[in-house]
Structures are given as structure tokens and as C-alpha cells.
Amino acid sequence: MSTEQTLAAAEPFVLADREGTHLHFLNHLATIKVAGGPTSSMSVVEFTGLRGFGPPLHNHLEEDELFIVLDGELEFHTGDERIVGGPGSMAFLPHNRPHTFQVLSETANFVNVTSSATTTPRFDRMVAALGVVTDDPSMPEPSPIDPGRVAEICSANGIEILGPPPAPLD
């Protein structure tokens, strides 16, 4: 399936492992599997992240998030709760609930599904705006991240940045 079909499909489709639109996104690999749009009420993005990766504390104004951990281990932070999820676990993070997460294992592979009852999901648009499309579904070389640009792109896509990423792991 081509990138255009993945991003604008109005018909059912099946993607094989490692298919979709690959992006080097904030020093890890993101693959857009389903993009939100006029005919889609959800977006689906698969991520591969390295130990210590975690987004800034943030809040989705309209989108609920569902994480499914395929490999590795993530720690989800919401309020005072910190919950660890390993392979096969799922985390539901409703909109208007500040949260973050952090990769605890050497690497982790997980799927993020966003959905909204009030608007077209825009999470995949944020990933596309901050990522660089690549034909090679591999981890990128680490590079500096501009927090101001991240906050600006997130804000344009219904996500408030509320604080820093989780503290670095020992």
C-alpha cells in the first residue's frame, strides 16, 4: 500500500509489518498506519523508542489515547500515578488528563491509537509535522530537539505542553 493510500484511505486495508509512512520523529521511529481525516475517526501510529525516551508532560484537549505495548516496557505517568506496562499491556489515557510516559527497556515498540468524538484526530499530523519521512524504517541518529518548535506544533494540533519530559534514567 502506498503512502497516499495509507494517509487518505476511505476503504478497508491491511498493512503488513513495517508498512506505513515511516518518519524519524524526535529521535525515534514513528510509522503512521492510519491517518485521521474526513473519513476516519482515529489515527494509528506505531513507535519504536530507545531507553529513556519520553515526551514532555502534555494534555490532549480533544483526543483520547490508547497505547498497546508490543515489545519492551513503558512507564505511564498521569497525576501521581506511575504504572509500568510490558508486552501485551494496554494503557488508556483520556483527553484533558495530563500525562507522559517513558521507555524503561533498552527499546520498546508500541502502538498509539487516538480518537475523538468532537473533531478529526490530529495526532498523526503532529507526528508528520515534527518528523522527517524516510524509506528506511530504522532508528535515526540522535539530533537536538527544539522544545519551542515541539510546543508550537503540538499546540496547533490540540496538545498542550505542560512540563518537561520525564527525568533521565540512571
Residue appearing with cell numbers 531507553: 51
> What does R_g of the chain's alpha carbons equal in angstroms?
15
**106: in domain:** yes
**170: in domain:** no
pLDDT of amino acid 7: 54
**126: in domain:** yes
Range of the domain at 39: 3-8+22-161
**143: in domain:** yes
- Picking from 122, 115, 111, 80, the residue whose alpha carbon sits closest to that of residue 95 is 115
CA gap 26, 15 in Å, rounded: 24
pLDDT of amino acid 36: 87
pLDDT of amino acid 18: 86
Q: Degrees (nearest 5) of the Cα angle 12, 18, 22?
A: 90
Instruction: Walk along the chain (170 residues) and give the pLDDT tens digit of each residue.
Output: 444 435 556 778 888 888 999 999 999 999 999 998 877 789 999 999 999 999 999 999 999 999 999 999 999 999 999 999 999 999 999 999 999 999 999 999 999 999 998 888 999 999 999 999 999 999 999 999 999 999 999 999 999 999 999 998 88
pLDDT of amino acid 12: 83
**Helix (H), strand (E) counts: the chain:** 3, 12
- 1: Cβ contacts below 8 Å, ≥ 6 apart: 9, 13, 15, 19
**In this structure, what CATH number is given to the domain that contains residue 89?**
2.60.120.10
**101: in domain:** yes
pLDDT of amino acid 2: 41
CA gap 92, 20 in Å, rounded: 23
Total tally of structural domains belonging to the chain: 1
Question: Taken in order 80, 157, 112, 56, is the CA torsion positive or negative?
Answer: negative
**111: in domain:** yes
Residue appearing with cell numbers 509500568: 84
| Torsion region of 9: left, alpha or beta (phi above 0 gives left; psi -120 to 50 gives alpha) | beta
**47: in domain:** yes
**168: in domain:** no
